[in-house]
Every structure is written in structure tokens, then in C-alpha cells.
Amino acid sequence: MGQSFSSTSENEDRGDLESSFTAYFNNIEIENKIIPPEIIRSIKRSLKKGHVQQAHYRIIGGLGHINYAPINIAVTGESGAGKSSFINALRGVGPEEEGATQVGIAETAMRRTPYKHPKIETLTFWELPGIGTMNIPPKYYLEKVKFQEYDFFVILSATRFKLLELDLAQAIRLKGKNCYFVRTKVDREKTLQLIRSYCVNTFIQNNMDVPQIFLISNHDLLDYNFPVLIDTLIKDLPAQKRHNFILSLPNNTEAVVDRKHKSMQQFILLKACQAGILATVPTVDILSLSDVDELEELKVKLNHYQVLFGLDDESLEVMAKDSQVPVEQLKKIIKSPYLLETKKEETLGEMFLKYVEKFASANGGPLATGLYFEKTFYLKLYFLDTVTEDAKVLLRETYSKN
């Protein structure tokens, strides 16, 4: 696929890549970027100076942080506040499923319990006993639960926040970490305004600044402030940890599906840039997938996207059971399981060529200037778009039955 270029041509291509790279990332809001702004700026500088190899290594470094950066979330609150249900909801695990946090189990003395996310290996939720369980000062509580290991704390309450919890939040902030107040079991109350006023008064009565308080129902994450809470957590996380946290979210709204799509698209395009700059669109054997390794890589990637967007067989079985729709019916309305089959009305090659044309005209990124990457990167983007649309189709289908 590659071509040899004159020095002038190489410089032009590098300039095009720098301008298209800049255009793409300028269109992404800071809180949605999956690598830190300083790394993005250094990549731009390297490309502008023609230091392609340097840019290559900086992209590798940025992606490496994403793949291996651990995310540890501490969830605390009094017994009965709904910590287990909250963690299950964020992990996308039903209370009866294997690996679910056990709801209603009495807390034991100062024992913290880790729960790995079933799909994101780097993400761990830690269920901590409430500070009131031991009735000790915040300083000693934080030492006991190994404060330094967590990215942030979520403090839950089913009624009102106790003074010890307010003091704990202050101690956490003084140590330079974020904590979030979440009022659970909102579905049991009459009005949101009454609940919020009740929570706010707790802070006022203790002469404390009123923080943002998130009202949620663990039984229905689509209601109340749960989406606002998630947006806040994503915004406050370091850039290199956002990607995997976004991918961990339950596929319960089209907004979440779109967010996952944008994050994955960034990741794929960064990988494409890392792989190197190629020339113009190749016209011969563009879609020859006779290479066994190449085809196997595509199968693995497609399966990975299906798992992340809830389209794997196990997820479809759960969805079918919850929505009381036959799993065969769900499989009939999605396209991604058949992407690597060539016996359909149009071949993968024909679909791919249409996609390249559509992507090149619709995006202000690397394709806008006529720069092209290896075909496997386009295919991954095509797979991602198809899986994203399938996830939305399933949401519409299943919610229409409820």
C-alpha cells in the first residue's frame, strides 16, 4: 500500500496530517478527550516540525496510559444506603447474576471489598463500610480504608448525611481528592424538591458550603440525576482514565451509546496515526482479506465492540429475558453479527467503499485532507459505526416492549 515520496511530497503530507489531526481534536471538547491536552499539543508540535517518529512515540505513550491506568472508585455510606445496589448498577450486573455485590449483607468491621468491572479490567469498585460503623475520626478512617488508592469517593445516603460523613468529605477534599454526595432510594419519596431541601438543610445547619447533591434511584438509572452524576465523574477524571470509564457504562440510553462511540473513534484514529502515514487511497486489492492474521484481528475487534455495546450472545440473552422478546427476534434486527460474511446482498468490500466515501466527506479529521490509513483501520471504524447503530436499534426495540 505504501509509496515512496520526494522530500517535498513528504513535507506536504506531514503538514496535511498536522492540520487534519489538529482539526479533529479541536472539534472535541476538553472533557471528552481521552489523552491529556499536553500530549495532544506535543503531538501537534512534532507533526508541524516534521518529526513524525517523535509524534509516533508520543501517541504510543498516550495510548499506553489509557490501556493500563487503573481506575479505583470508593463507595461508602451508612448501612442500608444502597452501596451494593449502586455498585451493581454501575457494573451493569443484576442482583441475581454471578459476581453481583451481595445486597443486604451486614457490614463487618472495617473490611473493604473490591468488585471488578466484568468488561473493563482496569476498573474496580470498592465497597467501604460507613464511617459511622466504627465511629472514628475521618483521618483514621481514611488510613484504614487506604485512602491513597482511590480516584474519588462516592458517599451515599438513603435519608440524610450524618455529621461524620460531612467531616469525612472535608477530609477527603483537604487531601486533594474529589468526593460526591449521592442521595439514593429517591423512588420512595414524593417530590425531588423535598428531598433536595432536606439534604441541603443538613449542610446549612452544620455551617458548611452546600455541594452538588445527586438524587438517584438504583432501580432506574434513567431517572433523576444519575446522568448528571456520570457526566460529572467523566469530566473530573484524568483524561487517560476517561476512555475506559466511559466504556464501562451500562448501554441503557442512546446518549451513553453515542458517548462510547466517540471515545472509541478517538482511540481508533489515534492508533491509525500511530501506525504511520500512508498515501492516497489504494485502488488494487483494497479489500483482499486473504491474510489469515488480518482477518482474525478484525474478528477479535468486532467481537470486542459487540461486548462493549452489549451485542454479544450473553448480553443479548439477558436483554431478551428482561424485555421478554425472543433472542432470535433481537438478532434479526441487527447487522453486526454478519459483517464478516460475504454471502449477503453486498459484499464487505462494497460496503466498505461506501463507508470510506461517507467518512471522508463527513469528518474534519485525517480523511478530510486526502490522507489515508491502512484498510483495517477503516474497517474498524465501519464496525464501530455498525455496532453503535445496532445498540440503538436494540434500545428502541426493547423499550418499545416495556
Query: What is the tens place of the pLDDT at every residue in 129-166?
Result: 988 887 789 999 999 999 999 999 999 998 889 899 99
The rounded distance, in Å, linking the Cα atoms of 308 and 286 is 28
Average pLDDT over residues 94-114: 67
Establish if 1 belongs to a structural domain: no
In contact, 267 and 66? CB cutoff 8 Å: yes
Average pLDDT over residues 49-69: 85
Quick one: what percent of the chain has pLDDT higher than 90? Answer: 35
Establish if 232 belongs to a structural domain: yes
> Global pTM?
0.84
Say which range, 16-25, 136-145, 173-182, 244-253, has the weakest mean pLDDT.
16-25
> Which pLDDT score, from 0 to 100, does residue 349 have?
61
The rounded distance, in Å, linking the Cα atoms of 99 and 92 is 11
Same domain, 163 and 277: no
Establish if 243 belongs to a structural domain: no
> Strand pairing partners for 126?
74, 114
The rounded distance, in Å, linking the Cα atoms of 57 and 23 is 21
Say which range, 49-58, 105-114, 148-157, has the weakest mean pLDDT.
105-114
Average pLDDT over residues 340-364: 59
Same domain, 231 and 337: no
Q: Spell out a b/e string for 270-280, using b for 16 or more CB atoms within 10 Å of the CB, else e.
A: bbbbbeebbee
Say which range, 64-68, 85-89, 148-152, 221-225, has the weakest mean pLDDT.
221-225
> What are the strands, taking DSSP E only, across 198-241?
213-215
In angstroms, how far is the first alpha carbon of the chain from the final one? Answer: 50
Is residue 313's pLDDT more than 80? Answer: yes
Same domain, 55 and 196: no
The rounded distance, in Å, linking the Cα atoms of 216 and 182 is 7
**How do residues 335-349 score in pLDDT, each as one tens digit?**
898 887 755 545 566
Residue 230 or 221, more confident? 230
Same domain, 111 and 212: yes
Work out how many domains the chain is built from and give that number: 2
Is residue 278's pLDDT more than 90? Answer: no
Residue 280 or 99, more confident? 99
Is residue 384's pLDDT more than 90? Answer: yes
Name the nearest CA neighbour of 76 among 196, 192, 161, 195.
Answer: 161
**How do residues 191-205 score in pLDDT, each as one tens digit?**
788 888 888 888 898
How many residues are present in the chain?
402
* Final residue belonging to a domain, choices 237, 262, 296: 237
Q: Which domain holds residue 205?
A: 70-237
Residue 364 or 205, more confident? 205
Average pLDDT over residues 315-336: 88
The rounded distance, in Å, linking the Cα atoms of 16 and 259 is 28
Establish if 245 belongs to a structural domain: no
The rounded distance, in Å, linking the Cα atoms of 3 and 102 is 59
In contact, 210 and 204? CB cutoff 8 Å: yes
> Strand pairing partners for 76?
155
Amino acid at position 36, single letter: P
Establish if 2 belongs to a structural domain: no
Q: Which helix (H) or strand (E) holds 75?
A: strand 71-77
Instruction: For residue 134, report the phi and psi dihedrals to the nearest 5 degrees.
Output: -105, -15
Residue 31 or 328, more confident? 328
Same domain, 168 and 191: yes
Mean pLDDT score of the chain = 81
The rounded distance, in Å, linking the Cα atoms of 277 and 3 is 10
Residue 254 or 221, more confident? 254
Name the nearest CA neighbour of 238 among 180, 152, 145.
Answer: 152
> Which pLDDT score, from 0 to 100, does residue 77 have?
92
Q: List all residues 6 or more positions away from 295 whose beta carbon is below 8 Å from its beta carbon.
A: 289, 340
- Strands 113-116 and 71-77, bridge-based pairing: unpaired
Average pLDDT over residues 223-244: 92
In contact, 395 and 251? CB cutoff 8 Å: yes
Establish if 381 belongs to a structural domain: yes
Q: Which helix (H) or strand (E) holds 48?
A: helix 37-48
Same domain, 160 and 29: no
SS3 content of the chain, % helix, strand, coil (to 5): 55, 10, 35
Is residue 290's pLDDT more than 60? Answer: no
Read off the pLDDT band of 325 (50, 70, 90). Answer: confident
* Final residue belonging to a domain, choices 203, 237, 271: 237
Query: Please, where are the H alpha helices in 137-191?
Result: 138-144, 163-174
Read off the pLDDT band of 263 (50, 70, 90). Answer: very high
Q: Which helix (H) or strand (E) holds 123?
A: strand 123-127
> Which pLDDT score, from 0 to 100, does residue 175 have?
92
* Final residue belonging to a domain, choices 237, 262, 297: 237
Average pLDDT over residues 95-119: 72
